[in-house]
Amino acid sequence: MQRVKIFDTTLRDGEQSAGVNLNLSEKLEIARQLEKLNVDIIEAGFPAASKGDFLSVQKVAEAIKGCSVTGLARSVYSDIDTAWEALKNGADPRLHLFIATSPIHMKYKLRQTPQEVIETAVQTVKYASSKFPIVQWSAEDACRTELPFLAEIIEEVIQAGARVINIPDTVGYITPEEYGQIFQYLKQNVPSIDKVSLSTHCHNDLGMAIANSLAAVQNGATQVEGTINGIGERAGNAALEEFAVALQIRKDYYQADTRMKLDEISRSSSLISKLTGMPVPANKAIVGRNAFAHESGIHQDGVLKEKTTYEIISPQLVGYQTNSMVLGKHSGRHAFRNRLSEIGLHVPEEDISRLFAVFKDLADRKKEMTDEDITAIVLEEKLSKDPSFYEFLSIQVQYGTNQVPTATVTLSGRNNELIQEAATGAGSIEALYNTLEKCMGKDKANLLDYRIQSVGAGRDALAQVFVKLRYAGTETSGRGLAQDVLEASAKAYLNAVNRILYMYENDNSKLPVHG
């Protein structure tokens, strides 16, 4: 049985999803969950992109001991130096080095000849190998690269010290059969190919990322790169939960497996969905809410008689349970602490008392506290520790069918000044956001997306709001949680604005990165 390594790039390529902007505490929360999921490698970010990225990669590398942590670098000496400083204290530091190899990229982006690209690649791989025990080299846009040139440059970088060779389908262009043929070609035409591991990194622009990843494994790849929930640039990356479960269910065919703890998939998917503000589609394979639902009477009858008639995957395999301990207002601190551990949430001991008090207060107003409620409480607590340039204080909304909706908002401003504004709108949410926009002064915020969902079920469910907006020339997302929809909406708006202000205060440099 072939063992396939899982290279998770949720924190790097996944964070490049439009409107996603994770802070340090959120990245650490995700990294710890990926460690529990038992992935082999976590790509924590692009250290040279900004001070914030550097710090995030450094802290993840220091915190994670159960798997290797890597960072991305262009074929530039300063990128390699920065990555080393960020990763050197990790348990198993490695570097992910890339350069474009397709004719269109070399001509229009790099403005280098093929020979110049080879020289740059060789020199930087040699330099990186003098620092890192493992250097992974990627041929950006490999699937639109001429195969003789791809074989030539791969042989050169192997001789220079590369230990892993990644063949990314950067723009989601290739088909499974063609992709497998590339791996076969390289195995036949690169003399030193047996000295390295082959990796695959597929994007989903044509909906074939998983099929291509599986084709690569069938043709010699021993490492697969992707993200949880398939998030990432444009249409996203290969969804790692789909890949791992496909290998598990069809072991008979692929004769390969991973070391992933499949029963941590549901927790990982839920956490990443909440922190990125990217909901999982109901019909998403493995983790969508309909993945184990049966509507058809024929299907229901079959499942009741024998589950495997219509279920090839058991919910328990990927971490969905049919029963759980119910927590409520009578639950004690010990049960609460145990539940946090069972859910997989990392909470410092000094924060338990404060979170338990929030839990008890909410439990007094709700009939039943679900795992989703508890997760939301913890994430909201972490959110409250973000730098707050604008802090929500109070809101009052007047609404009636025969009157113009009016909102009055009170905030604490960037210099701790009290800000109070009022505005009208066609509806209560519009009135609220028009008022918040007035509070921002001359820097207008353009709302791009607004989504609301309930946490749990019932009329007393918490409201969770996700927004995407453009402020001060930058696009980002924000989220807010409250029992009241309007309060959650205000918190989400301010969270997005605060994220942008924090980013500008620390570092505003953003470098382009490959997919």
Q: Does 302 have pLDDT greater than 90?
A: no
Q: Does 513 have pLDDT greater than 60?
A: no
500: tokens are 């942008």
Give CA angle at 299 (298, 303), nearest 5°: 120
> What's the farthest any 2 CA atoms get from each other in the chain?
79
Q: DSSP string covering 43-100, please?
A: E---GGG-HHHHHHHHHHHHH--SSEEEEEEES-HHHHHHHHHHHTTSSS-EEEEEEE
Nearest to 407 by CA among 386, 389, 425, 393: 425
Q: Decide: 106 and 114 in contact? Cβ < 8 Å.
A: yes
Alpha helix ranges (H) inside 307-413:
333-343, 349-363, 371-384
Q: Does 407 have pLDDT greater than 90?
A: yes
For 181, the enclosing helix (H) or strand (E) is helix 176-189
Nearest to 436 by CA among 477, 481, 380, 492: 492
pLDDT in tens, 236-294: 999 999 999 999 999 999 999 999 999 999 999 999 998 998 999 989 999 998 888 76
Q: Does 56 have pLDDT greater than 50?
A: yes
Q: Cα separation of 472 and 474, whole Å? A: 6
- For residue 104, the tally of other CB atoms under 10 A from its CB is 12
Strands 41-43 and 68-74: parallel
Read off the pLDDT band of 508 (50, 70, 90): very low
Contacts for 494 with CB less than 8 Å, ≥ 6 apart:
388, 390, 391, 392, 411, 436, 478, 480
For 267, the enclosing helix (H) or strand (E) is helix 265-276
Nearest to 173 by CA among 147, 148, 149, 205: 205
Place of tokens 């000496």: 77
Q: Cα separation of 113 and 149, whole Å? A: 12
Q: Cα separation of 410 and 26, whole Å? A: 28
pLDDT at residue 416, rounded to an integer: 80
Mean pLDDT of the chain: 89
CA dihedral sign, ordered 255, 261, 267, 271: negative
* Least confident stretch, 227-231, 456-460, 461-465: 456-460
For 466, the enclosing helix (H) or strand (E) is strand 462-471
The DSSP code for 279 is: P
pLDDT at residue 310, rounded to an integer: 78
For 431, the enclosing helix (H) or strand (E) is helix 428-439
Read off the pLDDT band of 455 (50, 70, 90): confident
pLDDT at residue 209, rounded to an integer: 98
SS3 content of the chain, % helix, strand, coil (to 5): 45, 20, 35
pLDDT in tens, 364-387: 776 667 777 787 777 777 666 665
Q: Cα separation of 345 and 359, whole Å? A: 15
Q: What is the percentage of the chain residues whose pLDDT exceeds 70?
A: 91
pLDDT in tens, 76-122: 999 999 999 999 999 999 999 999 999 999 999 999 999 999 999 99
Nearest to 225 by CA among 80, 216, 21, 135: 216
Strands 68-74 and 164-169: unpaired
- Residue 171, SS3 per DSSP: coil
Q: Cα separation of 268 and 7, whole Å? A: 15
Q: DSSP string covering 222-257, please?
A: -EEEEBGGG--STT-B-BHHHHHHHHHHTHHHH-EE
Give CA angle at 224 (66, 8), nearest 5°: 45
Beta bridge partners of 480: 465
- Residue 454, SS3 per DSSP: strand
Read off the pLDDT band of 345 (50, 70, 90): confident
